[in-house]
Amino acid sequence: DLPWKWSLAEGFQELPLLSGSTHGSATCVTDAGLIAGRSGLTSAVLWNDTGVNEFLSWKTQTREPVAINESGTIVLHNFFGSEPQSFVWIDGEVIPLPGIYAPTGSLSNRRAYDINESGVIVGEARSEPPDGVPHATRWINQESEDLHPRNTAVSSARSVNDHGRIVGYLKFGVGNEDAFIWDKGEVGILNELIDPTLGWELFFATAINNAGDIVGWGHLKGEATGFLLIPVPPCPADCAPFYTDGTWGNDVVNIDDLLAVVNSFGESDSPCDVTPANPDGTFGNNEVNIDDLLSVINAFGPCP
């Protein structure tokens, strides 16, 4: 296998390897274009404008980068051995992530998947024996916190956004998994947050962005497929101001929203495309027009 990157402007491009390596993988990337991955079996590397640079090497184990944030903090996982281990690389120091039960010094039975811009890491860690099942886990400043919801058999956190919202999957017992979202201590089952008549069963949530969009996979009318879940705003006419993290609104419909509609007239991709309300729970018809203007005027005031 060879590492590569893709961009809309340049398409697929193969990434260089360290001298002596014949294979590798690129596993994560920042918004600034810094790429982390592996060259050969024993070198963790970064690709930037200067080429490929080794930042960590070892003799017997493969610690592959799995996530990186804009400050360059990297989460690594050891894929060899009978018990999984995860680490975080911060400014040249490799720090093992602790488990969720004593002895906390044990390095085994935990796996991290994602890190946000505040350095919050999420993943899973095994519960105390004899059960020893995966529990959704959050690490803040390399201190572990068990997020496993009550009355569930298995859980795993797969992604965290910069607002601290976490998605993953859990299992209540026999049967299929359920995708979940964790927000400020509350767990929401995604299957309970969508229209059941749509025919979806959401099993695994694998990523969430700062706008709250969630991707994962499940079944649509019995067929396995991926999904994109876009949160429906409780007050669609509240379409301004627009923030740099991809969200918008301030819980009141006012002159700012009216001006935003006027300034985006005719646009096909705008948060101010708020009418009509569609049967699938979304809003808009791919054009900001007079209907959207009237909707904002009629909704003036605090959001319900």
Which CATH number is 103's domain given? Answer: 2.130.10.120
- Identify whether residues 286 and 216 lie together within a single domain: no
- Identify whether residues 294 and 181 lie together within a single domain: no
Residue 244 lies in a domain: no
Residue 266 lies in a domain: yes
* 3-class DSSP state of 157: strand
pLDDT over 50 at 105, yes or no: no
- Identify whether residues 201 and 134 lie together within a single domain: no
Phi, psi of 138 (to 5 degrees): -120, 135
Q: 82-96, 101-115, 177-191, 235-249 — which is least confidently predicted? A: 101-115
Assess contact for 67 and 28: CB atoms under 8 A: yes
End position of a domain, from candidates 177, 198, 231:
231
Residue 65 lies in a domain: yes
Nearest to 37 by CA among 11, 18, 13, 20: 18
Q: Which domain holds residue 130?
A: 1-148
- Identify whether residues 123 and 40 lie together within a single domain: yes
Burial 85-94 (b: 16+ CB within 10 A, else e): bbbbbeeeee
- Identify whether residues 114 and 172 lie together within a single domain: no
- Identify whether residues 223 and 287 lie together within a single domain: no
Residue 238 lies in a domain: no
Could you give the number of structural domains in the chain?
A: 3
Residue 236 lies in a domain: no
- Identify whether residues 220 and 290 lie together within a single domain: no
Counting other chains too, the contacts that 218-222 makes at CB distance below 8 Å and 24 or more residues apart are: 218/179
- Identify whether residues 117 and 78 lie together within a single domain: yes
Residue 240 lies in a domain: no
pLDDT over 60 at 108, yes or no: no
Q: Rounded to 10 degrees, what is the CA torsion of 148, 77, 204, 269?
A: 120
pLDDT over 90 at 173, yes or no: no
Confidence of residue 107 (pLDDT cuts 50, 70, 90): very low
pLDDT value, residue 80: 60
pTM for this predicted structure: 0.80
* Cβ atoms within 10 Å, residue 118: 15
Mean pLDDT, range 145-160, rounded to an integer:
94
- Identify whether residues 138 and 266 lie together within a single domain: no
Phi, psi of 222 (to 5 degrees): 90, -10
Burial 40-64 (b: 16+ CB within 10 A, else e): bebbbbbbeeeebeeebeeeeebbb
Phi, psi of 183 (to 5 degrees): -145, 115
- Identify whether residues 13 and 137 lie together within a single domain: yes
Task: Provide the percentage of residues in the chain whose pLDDT is more than 70.
Answer: 94
CA 256 to chain centre: 31
Helix axes 290-298, 255-263, angle to 10 degrees: 180
pLDDT tens, residue by residue, 248-281: 999 999 999 999 999 999 999 999 999 998 876 7
- Identify whether residues 46 and 86 lie together within a single domain: yes
